Amino acid sequence: MLEHTISNLNSHISVLRTYIEINQEVGLNNMLRMLESLSIALFKVTHGYELVNRNLLKSNFPAVDLVDDKRRVAIQVTSNADAKKINHTLAKFKKFDLADDYDQLIIFGFVNSSKKSVPPHCKVLGIADLVQMAMDKHSEEKIQGIIDAIEQHTDFHKIHPYSDKPCLSIILNVIDRNAVKHRMMREGSHQEMVRGLNEITELISKGTIDKKSKGKSIDQFTDHVIVKYLREIRNEIGEICGIINESRVEGHDFIFIPLEQYQEIDKAKKVIIDIANDAAKYAGIDMELRKL
């Protein structure tokens, strides 16, 4: 699951970089404000900083854009942190005595970041550095946090839809760990099973789990064969949930499922597993769900 989340994040970053570059080439300069706002969210995820935008408090605040006064950190946000930009920022930082207020200066270049040598109080970071920090911690939550930050600051699906294969892989992995792995006689909590089935349905229908983006919705898939497989899986889940709902005991918080309906649910689970395996084989995904 982590591998596919990273793949989607890399797609986000690659396309957003291109989008920024194109906007700059045609003279649209509104990208910097978006990057400043995005950077606040990114550094909160990766560093825990509580940044404020000094430009909103004082227009054209010198040398830096974002500050965390409590941690004494200042950040200059730019699309291209090249040697010229780094030297200019360091000079302004010194000229306005900002070292009196901030122990650390970060120059953050979203599109490009130079490896130029800088003083000890300064770091030059790019988006790849922030992603690497999250990866080093093996934190899917932090990687997902970076994805969410990018999506919240850009109308991203209009820029670039995810490709079908990694999104299908995410769905198949969720199916493999949720709700269809056991026969009904071996199921633990029926409520947990339904919750897992609802997660799969949400992921197929909306591309989200608990409203957090994981991939793309079924409507955004371009391969009609994959769409057919996903619809069939969703329909089978609907059949299972229908049986569960009809088995609820009125006025009580429990369900009673007759043996023949246990068998119907097991049959639907087997169909889901078969469809998922067919979809994986069709898409060239190296995985196979274990049959009941």
Q: How many helices (H) and strands (E) does the chain have?
A: 11, 7
Q: Which helix (H) or strand (E) holds 160?
A: none
pLDDT at 137: 85
| CATH number of the structural domain spanning residue 80 | 3.40.1350
Within-domain flag for 158: no
Residues 113 and 179 in one domain: no
pLDDT at 213: 79
Q: Domain residues for 36? A: 2-153
Which residue, of 125, 153, 181, is where some domain finishes? 153
Q: What are phi and psi of 234, to 5 degrees?
A: -65, -40
Which residue, of 112, 130, 153, is where some domain finishes? 153
Residues 140 and 38 in one domain: yes
| 266's tokens | 């097991």
Q: Which helix (H) or strand (E) holds 79?
A: strand 73-81
Q: Which helix (H) or strand (E) holds 228?
A: helix 224-246
Within-domain flag for 292: no
Residues 117 and 183 in one domain: no
**Residue 194 near residue 188 (C-beta atoms within 8 A):** no
Nearest to 229 by CA among 264, 200, 266: 200
Within-domain flag for 289: no
Residues 184 and 41 in one domain: no
Q: How far is CA 115 from CA 32, 94, 107, 174, 267, in A?
A: 22, 21, 11, 40, 59
pLDDT at 45: 94
CA pair distance 200, 174, nearest whole angstrom: 7
CB atoms within 10 A of CB 3: 11
How far, rounded to the nearest angstrom, does the alpha carbon of residue 18 sit from its chain's CA centroid?
19
pTM of the model: 0.60
End-to-end CA distance of the chain: 22
Sequence-distant (6+) residues with CB within 8 A of 280 are 168, 172, 286, 287, 288, 289
Mean pLDDT of each 10-residue bin along the chain, 292 residues long: 78 82 62 89 96 81 91 96 96 95 97 93 96 88 89 63 83 83 66 88 91 84 94 94 78 69 90 96 91 71
Nearest to 89 by CA among 72, 102, 106, 112: 106
Within-domain flag for 269: yes
